[in-house]
Amino acid sequence: MEINPLSRIAKINAGINKDKLNFVLMSTVLIADVIYVKMYSMSGALTVVVMLWILVMAPNILVYMRGDGKWKSAQSNKKVKV
Amino acid sequence: MIANADILIPACKEPLSVVERMFSACQKQKLDGGIDLKIWFCVDGMDDKEEKIVNDLAAKYGILISKRPSRCGFRAGALNYCIQNVLRKDSEYIIVLDIDQAPKPEMVQTLVNEMHKEENVDTHFIMFPQVAENKEENAITKTSDTLQMFDYYFNRRIRSETNSAFVVGTNWIGRTEFIRRIPFEEGSIVEDQASSIRWHAEGAVIKVINDELALGLAPNSIESYRAQQFRWSYGAFYNLRYLTSNWSKLSMWQRVDYLSVMTWYLYAVPTVLSIVIPLITFWKPITSSEFMLPIMLLTANIAVFTYPIIFCRKPRLTIGEVFQTAVVQHMCLDLYLKSMLYNILGKKHSYVVSDKSSKICKHPHRNLWLPYTLVALTSVGMAYATYLNPPTMTNIYNAISGYPMRYTTYIIIWLVLGIFWIWGTIYYVHKSNREFSCGNEKLV
């Protein structure tokens, strides 16, 4: 039976951990920021702006890093690390 | 064995319709007989006429009144007064609700059952999501609700797994003994975050469940949304002092997550600068690479920071809804900058309640001064760039055929991107105000 390519894409999409994807995207942009500031920036103002993006993005990356890819889950049954 | 639970509802100058909606919902709690429930309305500022009406309403619905003699310590002061002076001595659980969070009939029973579970023996607080009953009213209510969903179903849930989510001001149950021992912090207008820092430092365990047990009212007007956002951002920066004083007692993830909540509001600075920075390129080049690189980089930064919400699942959001959420949030960029400045200068901000009663904003333009300024600045830049690099047929043909574009063409692209963002804010805010006006006319 022929599988519809769109449903195959939807299936692959559903299997992706979106939090980890966000983590990868944010980390990539963060690394790109650092490389850009080091190698190409010729303006102090632009360097400051990019550095500010790094500052506000870095803590958020650490939230996505812990994401399980689920939108909701039965939280109260989980063991909390204290 | 009977569990003694008390609902605390702090309120300051709230519309009577909202008060009655709350009282009526509280009266309909369905309990299985194992819970002795008392409901306290913690009055925090009311004139004699309003007080008489509220007293009558309270008597009608069986609500108890706690009125403190002086108004010290913002909202936390009203809660502390009730807990320390009025509440019964054998109270086991406190449930705190904002006046607009009308509880569903199963709320108290569900929360007490959760606290009684074996895995929650050492848990001090359990939060549940804030869901807006009026989320479809306009773009502002939709934005507010979407951000709350994102916060509870992702941010707060993930953070609670490392015991680093803070207890918000409403929609939670806590152990009375613990809160009596370590009361709310009264010095901050965002007392929930300030108190949580101290509670975490004293070893509190804070969890989140996904049961939607109350229906709230999201801010529905420009003023109410901006008042709420200013209070939150001002308080977040202000609370840095509580974080530093408790720093050594917090775990690594608690430090990271409290810091991330506070630094989040800093995004206003690079967002505004990213939009206006092309203007400086008229005087000097800003990159030694391809001119497109900084455009792509800053756009990618704004996108990955603002749009992770795109991955919200159940209900899935459309691209339009995600864009709307992001740009409505941009309506408050000036407030985030202002709150930062106020904190740096040590300027005090008094507690302003987010008015949930419908009011049309007569002067929406005044609240949008920053988006208008950005549009004006970038429009001047675009006009000048177009003058330097007129869109002649040769230039357009060259651009289509992949011939390297002239510098000013890149500037135009960059500025158009900025204007797209800012015009989005202006469009959706005015649209919300219009939809709101229409809604009111129908009522009249």
Report pLDDT digits (tens) over B338-384: 999 999 998 877 656 655 555 666 677 888 999 999 999 988 888 88
Residue B74 has pLDDT above 50, yes or no: yes
Q: Where are the beta strands (DSSP E) in B33-186?
A: 35-43, 64-67, 93-96, 102-103, 125-127, 131-132, 172-175
% residues pLDDT > 70 (chain A):
82
Of the listed ranges B159-163, B164-168, B205-209, B364-368, the least confidently predicted one is B364-368
Instruction: Please report which confidence band the pLDDT of residue B443 belongs to, taking 50, 70 and 90 as the band edges.
Output: very low
The side-by-side arrangement of strands in the sheet containing B131-132 is B102-103, B214-216, B131-132
Residue A70, burial from CB neighbour count under 10 angstroms (0-12, 13-18, 19+): middle
Name the B residues in 45-104 with CB < 8 Å from any A CB. Answer: none
The residue type of B127 is M
Closest chain B CA to residue A81: B162
Side-chain half-sphere CA neighbours of A22 within 13 A: 28
Residue B321 has pLDDT above 60, yes or no: yes
DSSP H/E element including B5: strand B3-11
Q: Are B204 and B125 in contact (CB under 8 A)?
A: yes
Residue B254 has pLDDT above 70, yes or no: yes
Of the listed ranges B184-188, B205-209, B267-271, B389-393, the least confidently predicted one is B389-393
| CB proximity B154 to A under 8 Å | yes
Closest chain A CA to residue B251: A82
The average confidence (pLDDT) of chain A is 80
Question: What pLDDT was estimated at residue A74?
Answer: 47
DSSP H/E element including B215: strand B214-216
Question: What pLDDT was estimated at residue B314?
Answer: 61
Question: What pLDDT was estimated at residue B405?
Answer: 65
Inter-chain residue contact B277 with A49, CB threshold 8 Å: yes
Instruction: Please report which confidence band the pLDDT of residue B434 belongs to, taking 50, 70 and 90 as the band edges.
Output: confident
Greatest mean pLDDT among B7-16, B200-209, B285-294, B399-408 lies in B200-209
End-to-end CA distance of chain B: 52
Please tell me what DSSP assigns to residue A81: P
Q: Is the peptide bond before B315 cis (omega within 30 degrees of 0)?
A: yes
Mean pLDDT of B190-195: 92
Where residue B102 falls (left for φ over 0; alpha for ψ -120 to 50; beta otherwise) is beta
Question: What pLDDT was estimated at residue B352?
Answer: 60
The residue type of A39 is M
Nearest CB to A76 within list B209, B293, B297: B209
Closest chain B CA to residue A52: B270
Question: What pLDDT was estimated at residue B238?
Answer: 93
Question: What pLDDT was estimated at residue B92?
Answer: 96
% residues pLDDT > 70 (chain B):
91
Phi and psi at B77, nearest 5°, equal -65, -40
SS3 B11: strand
CA B167, B171, B174, B179 dihedral sign is: positive
Euclidean distance between CA atoms B239 and B192, whole angstroms? 10
End-to-end CA distance of chain A: 52
Question: What pLDDT was estimated at residue B313?
Answer: 58
Of the listed ranges A37-46, B143-152, B319-328, B404-413, the least confidently predicted one is B404-413
CA B230 to each of CA A66, B227, B349, B372: distance values in angstroms, whole numbers, following the listed order: 29, 5, 9, 19
Cβ contacts (< 8 Å) between B267 and chain A: which residues? Answer: 56
- Greater pLDDT, B234 or B347: B234
Q: Are B169 and B75 in contact (CB under 8 A)?
A: yes
Mean pLDDT of B424-436: 81
Mean pLDDT of A46-50: 91
Name the B residues in 166-225 with CB < 8 Å from any A CB. Answer: 203, 205, 207-210
Question: What pLDDT was estimated at residue B184?
Answer: 93
Inter-chain residue contact B285 with A68, CB threshold 8 Å: no
Q: Are B41 and B48 in contact (CB under 8 A)?
A: no
The average confidence (pLDDT) of chain B is 86
Q: Which residues contact A50 (CB under 8 A, 6 or more apart)?
A: A33, A36, A37, A41, B270, B297, B298, B301
Residue B203 has pLDDT above 90, yes or no: yes
The side-by-side arrangement of strands in the sheet containing B172-175 is B64-67, B35-43, B3-11, B93-96, B172-175, B125-127, B206-208
Instruction: Please report which confidence band the pLDDT of residue A76 belongs to, taking 50, 70 and 90 as the band edges.
Output: very low
The residue type of A62 is L
Inter-chain residue contact A39 with B205, CB threshold 8 Å: no
Please, what is the Cα angle at B103 between B176 and B137, to 5 degrees?
135
Question: What pLDDT was estimated at residue B442?
Answer: 31
The residue type of B22 is M
Question: What pLDDT was estimated at residue B73?
Answer: 67
Q: Write the pLDDT tens digit of every residue in B82-115.
A: 999 999 999 999 999 999 999 999 999 999 999 9
Residue A9, burial from CB neighbour count under 10 angstroms (0-12, 13-18, 19+): exposed
Mean pLDDT of B18-22: 91
Euclidean distance between CA atoms A57 and A51, whole angstroms? 10
Residue B441 has pLDDT above 60, yes or no: no
ipTM exceeding cut-off 0.90 for this assembly: no
Question: What pLDDT was estimated at residue B63?
Answer: 93
Please tell me what DSSP assigns to residue B235: H
SS3 B173: strand
- Greater pLDDT, A52 or B322: A52
Read off the pTM.
0.86
Q: Write the pLDDT tens digit of every residue in B108-154.
A: 999 999 999 999 999 999 999 999 999 888 889 988 998 888 888 88
Give start and end residues of each alpha helix (H) in B15-118: 16-27, 48-61, 74-81, 107-116
| CB proximity B309 to A under 8 Å | no
The size of the A-B interface in CB pairs under 8 A is 156
Question: What pLDDT was estimated at residue B388?
Answer: 82
Name the A residues in 1-60 with CB < 8 Å from any B CB. Answer: 18-19, 21-22, 25-26, 29, 32-33, 36, 39-43, 45-46, 48-50, 52-53, 55-57, 59-60
Residue B403 has pLDDT above 70, yes or no: no
Mean pLDDT of B397-402: 73
Residue B392 has pLDDT above 50, yes or no: yes
Question: What pLDDT was estimated at residue B440?
Answer: 42
Residue B223 has pLDDT above 60, yes or no: yes
Instruction: Please report which confidence band the pLDDT of residue A17 belongs to, taking 50, 70 and 90 as the band edges.
Output: confident
Q: Are B18 and B220 in contact (CB under 8 A)?
A: no
Question: What pLDDT was estimated at residue B384?
Answer: 87
Mean pLDDT of B1-28: 89
Of the listed ranges A1-5, A11-15, B261-265, the least confidently predicted one is A1-5
CA B40 to chain centre: 25
Question: What pLDDT was estimated at residue B84?
Answer: 92
Question: What pLDDT was estimated at residue A3?
Answer: 67
